Structure 1
Amino acid sequence: MTVLMTGFPGFLGSALLPRLLARREHVRAVCLVQPEHRALAETRVLELENDHPHLRGRIDLVDGDITAPDLGIDPAELAGLDGVTEVWHLAAVYDLAVDPELARRVNVDGTQQVLDFCRSRAHLGRLHYVSTCYVSGRYEGTFTEDGLDEDQEFRNHYESTKYDAEVLVRAAMAEGLPATIYRPGIVVGDSETGETQKYDGPYFLAEFLRRQLSVAVVPAVGAADEVKVCLVPRDFVVDAMDQLSVLPASLGKTYALTDPNPPTVRRLVETFAHHLGKRVLWVRLPLGLTRAAVGSVPGMERLLGLPAEALDYFASPTTYSTTNTTTDLAGTGVACPSFDAYAGTLLDFMGAHPEYDSKAMV
């Protein structure tokens, strides 16, 4: 029995893989790796084997490309993957400012190639597909886990291509492909250690606050007491996927993996500011004008540490139902921690590790 994973050695895949294999005795993992990430992947495997001795000899790396037929796997190696029983598709471009051609090639065409690969596996038990809560786009109201096409508008090519990819997965499910869909929110570092691989999302806000004087001026581009920020720590995401993946009841379901009680914009800003020793001065500004100014004035984004694309999410009209997630995880001991419990840990890690930036592995 074999598990195939895309997206290794990425942020989620590196943490998820040891959990999956701990729960699946006598199963080997094959990780599809782009050649340019081969050296990093080999180092990551060694680190995992040192930390988790049960992994030794159970992880193989295969060069490939999710945008190519047969995932770009050499035919000689492809023949050895007839026994794949599970596919975990995590690979995607996670970038709010992504080029539309790249986003479509990786997020949509890549997902189609993964689906074709799954259909060709005679022993496939399930595809586990990692989507995003932001297939919701700018939907106004509570976006449900079972919903998808709600005539929503999208803020960027990341959202629209992840939506199109999930449409493909759902169509394959309707045709009989066994699958489960997971929709993480904005994934931040580990709630216990703060560990992360890049600083984006709310980390942009932290950097924006850090660069200011003792009184930090913050633009209120939306209703700060009403807009919710869809944050979720990595450890909850991987623990939830690991747990849900082996439940018979999870087959065919979609799970929103995010905080069921997310912080408001005001709570997020004030919590970060307090930890950084700042006092906040709120200034109400229209979103469109603020976004245009930050995005068009040369050097403004670099000066502020806050990209224009991130501002949209501080005026988001969407909240997310987590009914499927909370119901099926009940009694397992897996639950999303409160934002207040880990916010300081994220900032402490950020302060101790200035070597990271906002760039994602593509």
Structure 2
Amino acid sequence: MSEHTASGGARKPPQVLLTGFPGFLGSALVERLLERGDGPIACLIQPKYRALAEKRVTELAGGDDAIRLYEGDITEPGIGLDDGTLEALESVAALYHLAAIYDLAVDPEPAEAVNVRGTEHVLDVAEALEADRFHYVSTCYVSGRYDGVFTEDHLEEGQSFNNHYERTKYEAEVAVQERLADGLSATIYRPAIVVGDSETGEADKYDGPYYLIRLLLAQPAACSIMTSLPGGADSELNVVPRDFVIDAIAHLSGREDTVGEVYQLCDPSPLSVPTVIETVGDAMGHRVVSIPGSKPLTKRLLGTLAARGWPAEPATLDYFDHPTRYACPNTQRALAGTGLECPPFESYVDALVAFVRDNPAVGDEAMS
């Protein structure tokens, strides 16, 4: 059955299907895809996020019909869409899968339902719709605690994992790579730790490195206390701003030669953990004193602080002695000559800190 606009003209069918809207990365990517003329875009949303999704649609497309919302759920077969709706989406040429639970302290069942089974359901839909391209946003941290340099060629290395988020994202990428090996035209993007915009500092969720920023801001500027872990001096904290991640995905997804490839969207020259702490302290004008401590004791302390309302998350401590270093030779080759590169953390840390100071009400709750 053909669709028509209110004026009676033919309604152009959706060309793109995207999960993860109205999330932070998903919203930015939708805006970029519309700019290059890839619409209309069908966005799968959960009913509980409809009000926020409609607000984002208005901000991105006004009264235009370029973004269409479909209520569904990736944890269900057929991503929660009925046969008629799936039939209406047969025009989709590209499917972007961003939806996931990003929560370092997530319990195993929701992580498996969304990150693993959800990805399998989206893959099934991509094949049922016979989409020309499948774009999957994974994470560098499929590495788990791999001891060494982890590149785009690595995945199944017998690694252990810091948490259920890492483990389930790893299992999800394994599923994508298996379909890719069976002939699915897919491209995989692995961002490192994503923070706010490098120009404005804008973020919609304070997790990961933001616990460090907020914990330091909650202490006196004259003396802010942090704990240094054994081995932490040799660990790197690989952070990337949202605009670089979106710029890279938008560029790489528009090229035919990226089919079948994996791209790690990481900082090729990241700072060590102690240098990140020092850099954040300098940006906020705090004198930071690092006191050596054991990991189990520090985790208990962070748990106590969190229970008392402090901005603390024990799970973040695993990244202060993380043994993995990330390299992105495939990404660097693909982006050579484009002007797209990850900016150094020092160049935008001021914007991140200023945004947190000006927006204390932003929370750390994951969309799920």
TM-score (norm. length: structure 1): 0.95
Q: Could you give the per-residue CA deviations for residues 104-134 of structure 1, whole angstroms, max 9, x where no partner exists?
A: 0000000010011011123x11100011111
**Counterpart Cα distance in 1 of 2:129 and 2:83:** 15
Q: What does residue 359 of structure 1 align with?
A: 365
| SS in structure 2 at match of 1:306 | coil
Instruction: Give the deviation of 1:275 after TM superposition.
Output: 1.9
| Residue 249 (structure 2) aligned to one of 241, 245, 251 | 241
| SS at 2:189 equivalent | strand
> 1:300 offset after TM fit, Å?
4.7
TM normalised by structure 2 equals 0.93
**Aligned residue number for residue 150 of structure 1:** 157
CA distance in 2, matches of 1:215, 1:257: 35
Structure-2 separation of matches of 1:251 and 1:306:
40
Are 2:92 and 1:84 equivalent residues in the alignment? yes
Structure 1 stretches of 4+ with a deviation exceeding 3 A read: 222-225, 299-304
Aligned residue number for residue 321 of structure 1 = 327
Would you say 1:38 and 2:50 are equivalent positions? yes
CA shift, 1:223, in A, is 3.6
Structure 1 residue 289 and structure 2 residue 297: aligned? yes
State which of 17, 22, 41 in structure 2 corresponds to 1:29. 41
In structure 1, the residue corresponding to 2:271 is in which secondary structure?
Answer: coil
State how far apart, in whole Å, the 2-side matches of 1:301 and 1:218 are. 18
**Are the aligned partners of 2:266 and 2:327 in contact in 1 as well (CA < 8 Å)?**
no
Q: Which residue of 2 aligns with 1:278?
A: 286
What residue number does 1:132 align with? 139
Alpha-carbon distance in 2 for matches of 1:89, 1:31: 10
Aligned to 2:119: 111
**1:200 corresponds to which residue?**
207
Note the C-alpha offset of 1:37. Answer: 0.6
Q: How big is each residue's C-alpha offset from its partner over 1:144-164, in whole Å with a ceiling of 9 and x where there is no partner?
A: 111101110001100000000
Number of aligned positions between the proteins: 354
- RMSD of aligned alpha carbons: 1.4
What is the CA-CA distance between 1:303 and the residue it aligns to? 4.9
- Paired position in structure 1 for 2:16: 3
1:20 CA drift (Å): 1.2
Distance across 1 between alignment mates of 2:196 and 2:301 = 30
Q: Deviations over 1:37-75 (max 9, x none)?
A: 11110110000124xxxx922111001111111111133
More off after superposition, 262-271 vs 233-242? 262-271
Paired residues of 1:94 and 1:360 also in contact (CA < 8 A): yes
**In structure 2, what is the Cα distance between the partners aligned to 1:302 and 1:186?**
27
Distance (whole Å) between structure 2 residues aligned to residue 63 and residue 280 of structure 1: 47
| Partner residue, 1:58 | 66
